Structure 1
Amino acid sequence: MDALAEAQRQIDFAQWANAQVRNLRTLGFQMADKGVASVLVELHNRNMLDAGLVLVGTLAYMAWLNELGARAVAVRTQDVDLATRKHLRLGAPQSFLDAMAATKLGFSPVPGIPSQAPSTSLKLKGREGLRVDLLVHGKELGKAVPIPQLMWHAEAVPYFDYLLEQPQPGALLAGGHCIPLMLPRTERFVWHKLYSSSSRKGFPEKAEKDLVQAATLAAILVEQQDEAMVDSFGEVPTGMRAVVRKRLPGLRRALGSHPQTLEQFEMALAP
């Protein structure tokens, strides 16, 4: 009887939580779809999120908008970007590929570039299908780096060691779930987004999206919390700074109606 009562309690709680998530959607909170929920719930149940996987990319931006209580134009993404350090807090290796297979969504590994390189991504069929990318710090952008604890490889991205320093707990609303996970510190997320927006070659729409997301979060931090972006710029690695300074004209355009935030960037990025 005790087991039956506990099972009923869990069912009741799940139904209550689902109703609360629906209410938050009605109030304008950012919400990812069921596919994203399937991926993150599976990783949560396998303790991979607790072990050190950090949500980055547009989904992290959505999560931070909710955490900060900010309204913005709803965003949609078909990319689940997960970042890791090379050493996770796992008692024993777990297969990242098996975790994705357990979602029953039908993920297939994306061929590496060049063709003999290991895969770092999985994708559903179709041009707009959901994609899961595993990322890690590395000086050579795009290089496949082995992550033995996940029996998988991750794609190297410069300065992810800076981005992943002291991540903070948060949550993502997705498909009727509220999934606890780790997020990059907001100010570091802003600076790395600006770096990424300047580093993208041949993808102007993605570069603009990164810049807008960085500017939006910065405006929220400055106007709601009086965050000094000029102070946090002191933690930015030297190699990132010259690249980030190239985005000052874009920030002036994006922050025309937020002079206080623009002033912070002007002071931080002055030669």
Structure 2
Amino acid sequence: MQEPKEQALVVQTAYMELYRLCEDSMAYAGDLAVLADATGKISVVGKTIRKRRYCYAQYVDGAGRQRQCYLGPEDAAATQHIVDLLASGEWNHALDSRRSIRKMLVQAGFVATPKLMEGALLTLQQTGLLQSGVTMIGTPAYIALMHRYGYTLPAPVQTNDVDLSIDRLNLAMPDSIAVESVLKAWNDRISAIPTLSRKAGEYSLKIRGKDFHIDFLTNGRYMELGKSITIPHIGFSAQAVPFLDYLTKDSDRALLMTRYGMLVPVPDAARLLWSKCVTAACRPQAMEGKRAKDVQQVLTLFSILKDRDPDRLEMALEAIPEIQEPDIFLKKLNSTLKLPVLSEVRAFAYPILGRLNKN
């Protein structure tokens, strides 16, 4: 097992300062870092959508294209704060500080975000999607959570895959978007990956010639795994995956090590741990390598949370009966917990699961 390395207090303090600066630069649904490539004046324009006024930053980027970045509802205090920052020019100084702190964190062992992933996520953030009922899951989210707790891994495996879980029932965007068109405007080599069925909508996008793709996922029943579900608000589809209602509820936020640092919604660390157990049990034998990685991440997260936040681990277990198909979730969870390597995790979980069974 790769032992996580706890960073020195000075490094953890720097992380929290970068977190604060990013949080302060967050519009209602976007980060002012997207304006870093603006040339000339940045103006604030208003739009009326369904009888409510919304603010957008309008600017010309380095390629000479006019852009708009969603800031938020005109009557929201957070939106007015961002408008004031833009008017004063203070946000520029904040970006310089963010870039310096991010550089120090990467030198300390924090994982730098690949350029393509950074570009795609910043593009989606400008639309408001990442702040409106979407949670980033997968390896990048796991690494971001490790950083959030002040840890790095000796040999972290970064990936160019972006998995975005969409809460289709509670997607809170002011206006619909065509997500493929939005991303194609950022990179014209991006295209949808055809599904096996011609009748099913696409739920993945890739960049031709690059090892990079984005998968859109949404909660579905266990027997619906892989089903394509249309998401009208993004003009695209998402792949049904069971138990995302558990994984993404009460989501957290963590930093990606982009050029200026970037806050993204990620799962609660304890829910991610127990979900990884279920994911490992659901994988076929042919995916033994990925199953081993799931178990590795369970061990790593548990080694941190058992001392840092055992109550969070317990509350995450106690929340299982509230989800869709809890019996299947518990069956898969128990299957993985039986592994000899997870004896300490099992000893923690079984008394709590026993109480749940009695109720």
What TM-score results when the alignment is normalised by the length of structure 2?
A: 0.67
1:7: how far off? 8.8
- Tell me which residue corresponds to 2:335: 246
The residue that corresponds to 2:23 in the other structure is none
1:199-210 matches, within 5 Å, as 199-201=282-284, 202-210=286-294
The corresponding residue for 1:165 is 249
Whether 2:115 is the aligned partner of 1:31: answer no
1:42 aligns with 2:123: yes
Residue 263 (1) aligns with residue 343 (2): no
Given residue 123 of structure 1, which amino acid in structure 2 is its aligned partner?
Answer: K
User: Deviations for 1:163-202, whole angstroms, at most 9, x for unmatched residues?
Assistant: 121212322223x131122111111111111111111123
Change (3 A) 1:266 1:228: farther
Against the structure 1 CA distance between its residues 229 and 267, is the aligned structure 2 distance closer, same or farther, given a 3 Å change threshold?
farther
Deviation at 1:118, TM superposition (A): 1.5
Q: Secondary structure at the match of 1:102?
A: helix
Unmatched runs of 5 consecutive residues or more in structure 2? 1-39, 43-85, 321-325
2:219 alignment partner AA: H
The percentage of counterpart residues that share the same residue type is 24
Q: How does 1:184-199 map to 2 (within 5 A)?
A: 184-199=267-282
Q: Deviation string for 1:230-250 (max 9, x for gaps)?
A: 553222222201111111244
1:1-271 aligned at under 5 Å gives the runs 9-73=90-154, 74-86=156-168, 87-104=170-187, 106-126=189-209, 129-139=211-221, 140-174=224-258, 176-201=259-284, 202-227=286-311, 229-236=313-320, 237-250=326-339, 252-253=340-341, 259=344, 261=345, 263-268=347-352
Contact 1:245 1:269 (C-alpha < 8 Å) held by counterparts: no
Higher strand fraction: Structure 1 or Structure 2? 2
Q: State the shift of 1:108 in Å.
A: 1.6
Tell me the alpha carbon deviations over residues 110-140 of structure 1, each in whole angstroms, 9 at most, x when there is no partner: 11123442210011224x6111000000110
C-alpha distance in 1 between matches for 2:178 and 2:312: 41
Instruction: Give yes or no for contact 2:247–2:272 (8 Å, CA) kept in 1.
Output: yes
- State whether residues 83 and 136 of structure 1, in contact with CA within 8 Å, keep that contact through their aligned partners in structure 2: yes
Q: Give the Cα separation in 2 of the matches to 1:248 and 1:262.
A: 5
State the one-letter code of the partner of 2:297.
Answer: Q
Structure 1 residue 48, shift from structure 2 partner: 1.0
Alignment partners' CA distance in 2, 1:38 and 1:28? 22
Q: Distance in 2 between matches of 1:76 and 1:112?
A: 26
Cα 1:13–1:102 shift into 2, 3 Å: farther
Structure exhibiting the larger radius of gyration computed from Cα positions: 2
Q: CA–CA distance in 2 between the matches of 1:223 and 1:115?
A: 50
Shift of 1:268: 4.8
Cα deviation 1:17-51 (Å, max 9, x = unaligned)? 22221111011123321111111111112211111
Normalising to structure 1: TM-score of the pair?
0.87
Q: Which has the higher contact order (CA 8 A, sep 6+)?
A: 1
Instruction: Return 5+ residue gaps in structure 1 as ranges.
Output: none
State the shift of 1:152 in Å.
0.5
Letter in 1 for 2:329: M
Counterpart code for 2:160: Q
